[in-house]
Amino acid sequence: MHATEPASLTTTPAADLSGFSGLPISLFLMINTFETGGSERQFTVLAQNLIPPQFQTHLGCVSRRGPLAHNFPNASQFPLGGSLFGWQSLRTRLNLSRHLRQHQVQVAHAFDFYTNLTLIPAARLARVPVVIGSHRQLGDLMTPAQFRAQAAAFRWCDAVVCNSQAAADRLIATGLSPNKIAIIGNALPAEAFTAAPAALPKRAGVTRVGMVARMNHRYKNHSGFLRIAAQIHRRMPDTEFLLVGDGPLRQQLESEASSLGLGASAIFLGDRQDMPAVLASLDVAVLTSDSESLSNVILEAMAAGLPVVAYSVGGNSELLSHQRGALIPAGDETSFADAVEKLLADSALREQLGRNALQFAQENFSLDRVRQRYTELYLKLLKKKRGRIPAA
HEC string of the chain equals CCCCCCHHHCCCCCCCCCCCCCCCEEEEEEECCCCCCHHHHHHHHHHCCCCCCCEEEEEEECCCCCCCHHHCCCCEECCCCCCCCCHHHHHHHHHHHHHHHHCCCCEEEECCHHHHHHHHHHHHHCCCCEEEEEECCCCCCCCHHHHHHHHHHHCCCCEEEECCHHHHHHHHHCCCCHHHEEECCCCECHHHHCCCCCCCCCCCCCEEEEEECCCCCHHHCHHHHHHHHHHHHHHCCCEEEEEEECCCCHHHHHHHHHHCCCHHHEEEEECCCCHHHHHCCCCEEEECCCCCCCCHHHHHHHHCCCCEEEECCHHHHHCCCCCCEEEECCCCHHHHHHHHHHHHCCHHHHHHHHHHHHHHHHHHHEHHHHHHHHHHHHHHHHHHHHCCCCCC
Say whether pLDDT at 2 is over 50.
Answer: no
Say whether pLDDT at 297 is over 80.
Answer: yes
Task: Band the pLDDT of 18: cuts 50, 70, 90.
Answer: very low
Task: Band the pLDDT of 324: cuts 50, 70, 90.
Answer: very high
Mean pLDDT (the chain, rounded): 92
What residues pair up with 6 in beta bridges, in sequence order? none
**Alpha carbon 196 to its chain's center:** 22
Supply the pLDDT for residue 22: 62
Task: Band the pLDDT of 9: cuts 50, 70, 90.
Answer: very low
Supply the pLDDT for residue 273: 87
Domains in the chain: boundaries: 7-187+366-386, 191-364
Say whether pLDDT at 5 is over 50.
Answer: no
pLDDT in tens, 349-390: 999 999 999 999 999 999 999 999 999 999 999 999 875 444
Centre a 10 Å sphere on the Cβ of residue 272 and count the other Cβ atoms it contains: 16
What residues pair up with 107 in beta bridges, in sequence order? 27, 130
Architecture of the domain defined by 7-187+366-386: 3-Layer(aba) Sandwich (3.40)
Q: Do domains 7-187+366-386 and 191-364 have the same CATH topology?
A: yes
Q: Roughly what angle, to the nearest 10 degrees, separates helices 144-154 and 113-125?
A: 30
Task: Band the pLDDT of 4: cuts 50, 70, 90.
Answer: very low
The C-alpha atoms of residue 379 and residue 22 are separated, in whole angstroms, by: 10
pLDDT in tens, 79-132: 998 888 888 999 999 999 999 999 999 999 999 999 999 999 999 999 999 999
Say whether pLDDT at 308 is over 70.
Answer: yes
Find out whether 156 and 121 touch, Cβ atoms under 8 Å. yes
Supply the pLDDT for residue 21: 56
Nearest to 182 by CA among 163, 155, 169, 154: 163
Supply the pLDDT for residue 37: 83
pTM, two decimal places: 0.87
φ, ψ for residue 223, nearest 5 deg: -60, -40
Share of the chain above pLDDT 90, in %: 86
Give 17: exposed, middle or buried? Use CB within 10 Å, 0-12, 13-18, 19+: middle
pLDDT in tens, 189-210: 999 999 999 999 999 999 999 9
Give me the amino acid identity at 232: I
Find out whether 158 and 311 touch, Cβ atoms under 8 Å. no
Find out whether 180 and 159 touch, Cβ atoms under 8 Å. yes
Mean pLDDT of 14-23: 53
Supply the pLDDT for residue 186: 96
The C-alpha atoms of residue 96 and residue 278 are separated, in whole angstroms, by: 40
pLDDT in tens, 221-233: 999 999 999 999 9
Supply the pLDDT for residue 356: 98
191-364, CATH topology level? Rossmann fold (3.40.50)
Mean pLDDT of 235-258: 97
Nearest to 80 by CA among 132, 126, 33: 33
Task: Band the pLDDT of 319: cuts 50, 70, 90.
Answer: very high
